[in-house]
Structure 1
Amino acid sequence: MNRDETGNNENRSERCVKRSVGERRSVMRCLVVYHCRFGNCRRIAENIARGLEEAGLEVELRSSSEARRVGAGFDLLALGSGTRMGRMTGPMRRFIRREIRGEAWAGKPFLAFGTGMRAQAGDEKHADWSARGAQRIYEALEAKGLKPASREARFYVSGMKGPLEDGEEERALELGREVGRRLSAPVD
């Protein structure tokens, strides 16, 4: 539990970005950046991007190696990586450190996602590592002053190199649609 500016408790799922009543926006711009080794996180990123576009957002999709000097001219940042030893990948960590700096990003909404294997029943040693890259991205962006548009999203693969479990691409598409609708809709 965290406390907001007024001292009220709020949990992670309730700390989503809220816009003021009646606020209207032109088309929101979203940057989706991913890092993956085996193509699974790229497929998730593509589906999230497609869902955001279907909800009316303008989306740029880039791998972390292509995303250099991106600037803060975006209204939403979506970052994702595979999970390595319970962490986000090194290239994603470097992207966040190098590109998400300064006050220009503070207060902007973000979406954190990641891929990884499910913990096996009885494997207590690795149970907490399962697709945890998303959580690490979430924590890093929140520490830089960005505001979550959603809880971190974990997507599962059936083996070390994949493929994605059945239904994961559809879940990613729906997540993009949901976040896009919520952020682009006027608030009553």
Structure 2
Amino acid sequence: MLSLQNLVLKFDGESILENVNLNFKPGEVTVITGHSGTGKSSLLKVINGIIPEYDCGDVKGDVLYKDKSLLGMSILERSKFISTVFQNPKTQFYCINSTDELAFQLENRCIERNLILDKIHYYSDVLGSKDLLDKNIFELSGGEKQLIAITASGISENEIILLDEPSSSLDYESIKNLKRAIININKV
């Protein structure tokens, strides 16, 4: 279980999050809603470690995963069980070729190439991104990029997947595909 306990986030003394207490149970899909600027993205960045590791912010309270504090844990350590799909997924891509992008994180974990390819084919089939394999990522639509990023999260097989405004800037058809992918990734 992921638990936020009395979480406070301040930037330059200004409160962004104040005494947030939330519990997320395994297997559940949780949606956090709110107006623009209310701290939703900042909350995800505290969970995945971008705040305070890269974005300065004063964090108080605690973020627990399986009763272990994530605060003070590096992004690298957290990446072993947390994946994040950002609002603009192209900011997180390292490779031009979509299949290479899906393989990238597993190669960094020293997983054998044949197992990597098996995972890519399995998750791209389950999540509906099979037609996007071996494409130039930067020639894909916004929805297709989002689907590649979600497929990469699935391939990681991390227990926590954070999606930051995954449907922003997507057309109706892409939103339907996104919803299907979220439902399917939760079943895997």
Shorter chain as normaliser: what TM range? under 0.3
* TM-score normalised by the chain length of structure 1: 0.26
Q: Per chain length, whose mean CA-contact separation is higher, i.e. which structure has more relative contact order (CA < 8 Å, sep 6+)?
A: 1
**If each structure's helix is expressed as a fraction of its own residues, which one has the higher value?**
2
* TM-score normalised by the chain length of structure 2: 0.26
